[in-house]
């Protein structure tokens, strides 16, 4: 149990479907992140939110639309995805450095997304 | 650009010691992290280095040399449950900023 919960764990969808991924953190953190993890590639940062405000968009296609209604919840809305978007989507959260110690990111178990 | 290199795969024997290396070239440096990720699970935080030297935490130790852009993760007394991917990540900016990850090293522990 990492304190970051993602649902669903698995999702299969067609290219014309609309679905949403959900992330909830119970750690009191104020930053949340979406990463994409594909086979044989490093984790790719997608979006960053600090205090509910989007602070980074790493050139992500508009078919991915994030939403952060509060510091504990993060969504990723999916629309007309492509087969190459099949991957593990990981949510993470973190809090600012404390006492000079650099705080790690805490990850959820991810949503395994398959696009047909 | 940002570049973090680590071996793709390693195999080691139960009870042995294994060292997983990581080299990095990033525009800035504000700490290096190691994560463990079992298949189908979340990456979990193992260690953090920001100053040169060795940080020990039980069976796991992590070393950093900032002048060489180099780190390693040392796993002692290997157990079968240590079979996992090990991710090296750098925070290249200050504050509450995201990490830059390497591709990960898949470690297989065999009997």
Tens digits of per-residue pLDDT, B52-109? 999 999 999 999 999 999 999 999 999 999 999 999 999 988 777 889 999 999 999 9
Distance of CA A70 to the CA centre of its chain: 14
Structural contact between residues B96 and A103, judged by C-beta atoms closer than 8 angstroms? yes
Structure tokens that stand for A52 in this block: 């509910």
C-alpha angle B104-B107-B108 in degrees, rounded to nearest 5: 150
Give, as one character, the DSSP assignment of residue B16. Answer: -
pLDDT tens digit sequence for A34-44? 999 998 888 99
Length of chain A: 116
Instruction: Report chain B residues whose CB lies below 8 A from the CB of A74.
Output: none
Phi, psi torsion values for B56, nearest 5 degrees? -110, 135
Distance, in Å, from the CA atom of A61 to the CA atom of B82, rounded to the nearest integer, reads: 37
Asked if residue A101 has pLDDT above 90, the reply is: no
Nearest to B35 by CA among A28, A81, A92, A74: A92
What average pLDDT does the segment B10-33 reach?
96
Q: Please give the span between the terminal C-alpha atoms of chain B, in angstroms, as a whole number.
A: 40
- For residue A100, the model assigns a pLDDT of 55
pLDDT of residue B7: 97
Could you identify the residue written with the tokens 């180099």? B70
Q: Which of B99, B100, B103, B106 to mutate to test the interface with A (most CBs of A within 10 A)?
A: B99
User: Are the C-beta atoms of residues B43 and B36 closer than 8 Å to each other?
Assistant: yes
Chain A, 51 to 90: residues with Cβ < 8 Å from chain B are 56, 90
């Amino acid at each position: 149990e990492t304190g970051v919960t993602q649902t669903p764990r698995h999702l299969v969808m067609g290219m014309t479907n609309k679905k949403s991924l959900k992330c909830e953190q119970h750690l009191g953190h104020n930053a949340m992140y979406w990463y994409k993890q594909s086979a044989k590639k490093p984790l790719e940062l997608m979006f960053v939110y600090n205090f509910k405000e989007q602070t980074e968009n790493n050139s992500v296609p508009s078919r991915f639309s994030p939403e952060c209604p509060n510091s504990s919840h993060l969504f990723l809305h999916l629309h007309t995805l492509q087969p190459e978007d099949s991957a593990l989507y990981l949510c993470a959260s973190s809090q600012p450095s404390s006492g000079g110690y650099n705080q790690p990111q805490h990850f959820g178990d991810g949503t395994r997304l398959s696009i047909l | 650009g940002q570049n973090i290199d680590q071996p793709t795969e390693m195999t080691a024997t139960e009870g042995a010691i294994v060292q997983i290396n990581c080299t990095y070239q990033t525009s800035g440096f504000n700490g290096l992290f190691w994560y463990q990720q079992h298949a189908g699970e979340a990456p979990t935080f193992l260690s953090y280095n920001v100053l040169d030297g060795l940080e020990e935490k039980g069976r796991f130790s992590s070393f950093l040399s900032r002048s060489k852009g180099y780190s390693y993760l040392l796993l002692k007394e290997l157990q079968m449950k240590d079979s996992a991917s090990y991710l090296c990540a750098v925070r290249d900016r200050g504050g509450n900023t995201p990490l830059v990850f390497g591709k990960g090293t898949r470690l297989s522990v065999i009997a």
